[in-house]
A and B are shown apart, each in its own frame.
Chain A
């Protein structure tokens, strides 16, 4: 049956009729006369592709409530129901809507009237005045996120300073109410006076007239922003777009207001293509596919940003095969591949799969016997069975303890400068992995830890309580996958994180304190309010001050909810409750775990979620997060879902249509083994242990060695156990952001040729090689074992013939074998997981 499945062919007929058509949006509501709504007429085809035929269709409105233009833009006239209909050939689609005018005419608001011009013309983009410090003496918030600030900077002048609330330098108003035409804002933008940003609009333009009229009326701000005018989020249709070369497609941009109303801002948005060579975009938001590839289009409007992924696809694949699907991961991944006209590679061979899954789940190579047994087995469920055997095994526990020790930064100097404490903290992680503790629980324990427990020690870098802002930024990076550090000193340049939000969150960590009187033993707690603890330092009057305004900060969640601290309550509990339930938490976690198995995150880098860094598969990310929450934040279940998918089990060998793909999982992505895993693998192949040494011990100037049998992944204080090898291969510094590079470098190359790891182990008498040679093993049997151990596969016939021949040609057998084992350890096939 399986064979038949693979042979079944989906029929794709080039230039076929669509299978369906529809209008987007299919329902709409406009709130005043003059408001507009753009529509897209989408024709959908059997191969999953969509074509935008808006401009080719005939448009009509059913009532006097509105009129609709040739390009599918409806403008509201009177209150009432209205149906918009579009015809294209023999196809027809419609959308139902309502116009309401009870709210009266639109009120003037600075943001929507002036801010939107500054956005559309790029004035407030992060590269210009929207940068952290502005440009040329004028600072604006990115995409007019903070209209009141922008208003002040334009009307009164002054520029933002990072570390002070004082405006810097001379305050130079950008408008002139006495002589409106002389306003700098207009003169600069029209190029009448020198402007680093060039001419942004002409004197004879709507923008010019709008701004001039506004200055003539006295440059009001309008009513204060409220829930009807503040934008909560931006939605773009479509989120993923596949186009053939030279095809065009219109984007629709909708602002969702805080009160839930939806407003079409397609005409006000600013569009930027990350790679114009692949796909360009017009000022009106029409994408134009230029060359094969994938890029993103960034959309900015109303203080927000969003992104669309555009794939420019090749020729249709004749006889695109039906690819079997194992679970929902495959549905999302293969559906996108189909739309991108790439065929997934074949399923991996058993040996290829086994090595990959063992390394990914346990950081350990499969033993030769297991490889042979697995390849021989005819059990149709053998892959699932081996996955279930690996998950929860002792090696799994070691490996995931190691991975979370990296993430949670277990290191001596990061945990109070005391090996006892990094051990304790590492042990808390290990126990959590052993018990498969729900991850929300693990996060909650780390966020709220008080007393002497393991996770309290992560608050003690260099043996002092970390500053509230650093601790908070770290927790947000780890659990939300977001980098907030920018907002420490200024509003985030690309995101809607404000400096106030940053410090509001930081204030949750503002009362943390350490205390103890028996030498170096102490507890971590949150200082009670207005209560002396007898340590003479403070009496509870602990304040966190805003660095610019110097105002006292109250712990405040991102949604603006302030948590009033009471007496002895641990304020971090409220924060932890909120964090683990926030959608960011599950999304960041599943993305992080995904990257461990697929070589990159759906959002990449995994710690850099932002609206301008879109996921390659947004729906898949959402679904994985949902499943993760539904499972009770079960890490093992999450990992199992990933590794049983066919996507994970595809071969690393690319096919004709997917060779160039690096981001769509059409084939397994080879990636370097982590430094520790590589070193352990070398130990396994050579049979010669690595003993790490340190001179930083409780006993003082004594060199301490790690115990026999201890693996590199089991080291808890990597900062004090020196290893040139691990440093060269990218062991991260856990005292700072633990980023692994693992990139090839000159040091690695020198180490391979001349370093101890690659040379001393070969001649060691206790090692596998010397034992085999002494024991009189044949070249053929040694080669077989070596290949199974290192590569998880037997040598192919041609390989063994060539290698056995080369070995036999060498006069000194011992030397020849040392050279061969060296070559295996240095090979890419060994050093990568594939």
Chain B
């Protein structure tokens, strides 16, 4: 409890973030993990061409640096770092089209128009709280199109303070974060002047009508002002602070630079970052699946994921950062008329490690063609429970919605609560 006194002293300045003193003094989760990076493989990778090689893949399996684990030859660099990632080869989920599948993968719930479920990022932000004045939940890059996907990553009834801050593509030369630095036309002195005018203008009205909301807005304004003046926050978003070598190593495209951004943010204090650089290079290979995986999808994944694993290790962040690479589902074990593979939520694979979650292990198994789960079906609730456990969060927790419906934070199939994957601890 030696830190409680300090928390007490700083508590006042956080009150307007909607966090009460009680929230702050409540024991924080005591897991190894402090942050999580989701490398979002939008569109859904083919499990047999990535983590779960099978004879019906056009590609050969290769050995990894963990005896007994083989992955696709399309991921050679990751294969040399297999000891830092574990594989789940028995994911069994819901939603066979992108909106439904994405919603399910990110919230653990099927789409229900009557309810906006909180995403796992929003839940982690709520459970772990703000570090170093950094926004706790970030998504990069935001969608240029199809913005309904972005809604799935939001906080729903938990409230806008846990919504992801969605930022543009950090690989673009004109990359800039909205609202995190003053426009060039506005000096710090101008802001002072503006606040002065604001007080004069609003004095009459505030005297006339009472408003708890007014004090709340003032609190947010003070916090915003602090963020704008805090170089640490702005610098966290500034990729130019990285060496050219590191930037190259991650890859200069949206995939690489989003992942690098994720590492910078996590290092600065952000809790959950979705690195979603595959928007414009989707894994949705309904045609020419093999060329897609070989030429445009696996190479950036292999490069960026291994760069991220190395970088986290080098900077001492690997043990406190959960890395999760997954899409919304897998792909059919058979090819269609366009030599493509279609959506497949029945059985698919993902990679996870770091933040106290063991690497170099395999959970579950698929059948001979990677079509159905053969062993240990794993639900999204089990995956979420695993991540919560790494953070020291009680995964059996339920939130009550405003109308009193209990919502599991680790929702498994058939209204069950997920269980952490014991093999990974």
> Which residues of B lie under 8 Å from residue A483 when comparing CB positions?
114, 403
Is A559 in the interface zone, CB < 8 Å from B? no
Minimum C-beta distance from B228 to chain A (A)? 6
In the bound complex, residues from chain A placing their C-beta under 8 Å from that of B208 are 652-653
**CB-based contact B209/A748 at 8 Å:** no
In the assembly, what is the distance between CA of A760 and CA of B220, in Å? 22
> Is the CB–CB distance between A828 and B115 below 8 Å?
no
Output the least CB separation between B265 and chain A (Å): 16
* Contact between chains at B209 and A652 (CB < 8 Å): yes
B198→A827 contact, CB < 8 A: yes
- How far, in angstroms, from A695 to B145 measured CA to CA in the complex? 6
Greatest chain A CB density within 10 A among B181, B191, B197, B414 is at B197
Interface residue B59 (Cβ < 8 Å from any Cβ of A): no
Which residue of the partner chain, among A724, A735, A799, contacts B204 with CB atoms under 8 Å? A799
Which A residues lie within 8 Å of B221 (CB)? 749, 752-753
Q: Does B200 count as interface, using CB distance less than 8 angstroms? A: yes
Q: Is the CB of B403 within 8 A of A754?
A: no
List residues 784-834 of chain A with CB under 8 A from any CB of chain B: 796, 799, 802-803, 806, 810, 815-816, 818-820, 822-824, 826-829, 834
Nearest residue (CB) in A for B195 is A823
Contact: B204 with A796, CB < 8 Å? yes
Q: Which of chain B's residues 178-226 have a Cβ closer than 8 Å to chain A?
A: 178-183, 185-186, 190-191, 193-194, 196-198, 200-202, 204-206, 208-211, 213-214, 216-217, 220-221, 223-225
Contact status of A746 and B186, CB under 8 A, knowing A724-B178, A796-B204:
no
For A729, the closest partner residue in chain B by CB is B160
Chain A: interface size category: 35 or more
Q: For the complex, give the distance between the alpha carbons of A759 and B193 in Å.
A: 14
Number of A-B contacts (CB under 8 A): 187
Q: Which of the candidate stretches A262-270, A304-312, A500-508, A737-745 sits at the interface with the other chain?
A: A737-745
Please tell me which one of the listed residues B147, B204, B223 contacts residue A722 in the complex, with CB atoms under 8 A apart. B147
Q: Does A61 touch B at the CB level, under 8 Å? A: no
Interface string of A746-786 (1 = CB under 8 A from B): 11111111111001100100000000000000000000000
Contact, CB under 8 Å: A744 / B213: yes
- What is the bound-complex CA distance between A806 and B159, given in angstroms? 39
CB-CB nearest in chain B for A131: B406
Whether a CB of chain B sits under 8 angstroms from the CB of A163 is yes
Question: In the assembly, what is the distance between CA of A10 and CA of B185, in Å?
Answer: 61
Among the listed B115, B161, B206, which residue makes an inter-chain contact with A737, where contact means beta carbons less than 8 Å apart?
B115
Q: A754 near B183 (CB under 8 angstroms)? A: yes
Q: Which of A327-335, A447-455, A470-478 contacts B (4 or more CB under 8 A)?
A: A470-478
Asked if B148 contacts A719 (CB within 8 A), the reply is yes
Contact, CB under 8 Å: B180 / A754: yes
- B295 interfacial contact with A, CB 8 Å: no
Contact at A608–B403, with CB atoms within 8 Å? yes
Closest residue on chain A to residue B402 by CB atoms = A605
Of listed A163, A461, A815, A828, residue having the most chain B CB within 10 A:
A828
C-alpha spacing A735/B402, complex, angstroms: 19
Residues of A contacting B244 in the complex (Cβ-Cβ under 8 angstroms): none
| Measured CA separation A483–B403 after assembly (Å) | 9
Q: List, in ascending order, chain A residues with CB within 8 A of B165's CB.
A: 747
Among B115, B161, B211, B221, the most chain A Cβ lie within 10 Å of the Cβ of B221
Task: Tell me, yes or no, whether A420 is within 8 Å of chain B by CB.
Answer: no
Residues on B with C-beta less than 8 A from A829 are: 201-202, 204-205
Interface of chain B, helix or strand or loop or mixed?
Answer: helix
* B68 interfacial contact with A, CB 8 Å: no
* A672, A720, A820: residue with the most chain B Cβ atoms closer than 10 Å: A820
By a CB distance below 8 angstroms, the chain B residues around A493 are: 404
| Interface contact B200-A802, CB-CB below 8 Å | yes
Is B148 a contact partner of A735 (Cβ separation < 8 A)?
yes
Distance of B276 from chain A, by nearest CB (Å): 16
> Is B99 positioned at the interface, with any CB of A under 8 Å from its CB?
yes
**A654 contacts B by Cβ under 8 Å:** yes
Given A815-B190, A822-B194, A754 and B113 touching (CB < 8 A)?
A: no
- In the complex the two chains form, is B183's CB within 8 Å of A823's CB? no
Known: A736-B151, A755-B178. A803 touches B201 (CB 8 A): yes
Q: Known contacts being A746-B223, A829-B205, is A470 close to B114, with CB within 8 Å?
A: yes
Complex contacts, A578 vs chain B, CB 8 Å: none
Are A462 and B99 interface neighbours, CB within 8 A? yes
Give complex CA distance A751, B225 in Å: 11
Q: Contact at A743–B159, with CB atoms within 8 Å?
A: yes
Q: Are B113 and A461 in touch, CB under 8 angstroms?
A: yes
Asked whether A755 lies within 8 Å of B112 as measured between CB atoms, the reply is no
For this complex, 14 residue pairs linking A to B, each with C-beta atoms less than 8 Å apart, are A162-B415, A461-B113, A477-B114, A485-B115, A730-B160, A747-B165, A749-B225, A756-B178, A763-B185, A799-B200, A820-B197, A826-B194, A827-B198, A829-B205
Q: Which residues of A contact B (CB under 8 A)?
A: 161-163, 413, 461-462, 466, 470, 473-474, 477, 483, 485-486, 489, 493-494, 605, 608, 652-654, 659, 670, 672, 695-696, 719-720, 722, 724, 728, 730, 733, 735-737, 739, 741, 743-756, 759-760, 763, 796, 799, 802-803, 806, 810, 815-816, 818-820, 822-824, 826-829, 834
- Which chain B residues have a beta carbon within 8 Å of chain A's beta carbons? 17, 97, 99-100, 112-116, 144-148, 151, 159-161, 163, 165, 178-183, 185-186, 190-191, 193-194, 196-198, 200-202, 204-206, 208-211, 213-214, 216-217, 220-221, 223-225, 227-228, 402-405, 414-415
Add 10 more A-B contacts to A803-B200, A806-B197, A822-B194 (CB < 8 A). Answer: A161-B415, A485-B405, A748-B217, A753-B225, A754-B186, A754-B224, A763-B185, A819-B194, A827-B205, A828-B211
